Amino acid sequence: MALATKPTVLLLDEPTAGMSPEETFKTGELVKGLNAEGMTIVVIEHDMTFIRQIAQRVTVLHFGKIFDEGSIDDITQNEDVVRIYLGKA
C-alpha cells in the first residue's frame, strides 16, 4: 500500500519482524530493487543479517542520539556498539 503513491522516500520500521529467513531475504531484494530505482529507504531494524543485505550506511542511535555511523562492517567492529546492542563483550 505504501508503494502505491510512488514515494521518493520510504520509512520501514522492523519490516521483517516475524518473517522466515526466506521471506526476509526476498524482502531485502525488494528493498534493494526499490533503492536501485532511486527510492531513498530508511529502515529501523534489529535483524543484522537483513541490514547486512540491504544497508549502504548504518546509523546507530543510543538514548536518542547518534552513537556511530558507517558501513555495516564499521558498525559491527565497533566494540561499544557490539557491547551495547549485540550483547557481546
pTM of the model: 0.82
Burial level of 31, CB count in 10 A (0-12/13-18/19+)?
buried
Q: Delimit the domains of the chain by residue range.
A: 1-48, 57-89
So what's the pLDDT on residue 88?
64
Q: First-to-last CA distance in the chain? A: 42
Reported as a single tens digit per residue, the pLDDT across 36-79 is: 999 999 999 989 899 999 999 999 999 999 999 999 999 989 99
Q: 1: pLDDT confidence band, cut at 50, 70 and 90?
A: confident
- Are the CB atoms for 75 and 60 separated by under 8 Å? yes
